[in-house]
Amino acid sequence: MKSLEHAVVGAVVGVVAGVSLRPPGSLSVLVVGAAFLSVFIDLDHFVLARAERGDWANLRLAVTNPRVGLLEQEKVFEEFGSEFNLKRLFTHHLVGGVAVAGLALVGSVPLAAFVGVVLYVHVVCDFLRDLGIA
């Protein structure tokens, strides 16, 4: 999914999870945080692409060409095949698991649950897009 799509879904999930789980913080801060989290979790793609290619060409493409970085994001990683998609989803699970476990360990279980729900929906949306359903 594109960043704007993830931001919208993240904001909607942020409202529902914020009202349901009642983590610490105001609802507006939680919604904005969920939208940002839903977008910025995708930065792991650039680290993965760096590991695959050996350089930061994909990041340079996204940063130096705003049209590609903002509107045609599918072009940023188009050189990679389906194995990259699996690795991309795997890194989302790793980052999400560490974030949720870390928040739970420091005693913020409601916030950990909130982050877990937001990232879970992000990954489901990625799966749906990869499967051609959404």
pTM listed for this prediction = 0.93
Helix (H) or strand (E) run with residue 117 in it:
helix 109-130
- Asked if residues 77 and 129 have their Cβ atoms less than 8 Å apart, the reply is no
Convert the pLDDT of each residue in 9-42 to its tens digit.
Answer: 999 999 999 999 999 999 999 999 999 999 999 9
Q: Is the pLDDT of residue 134 over 90?
A: no
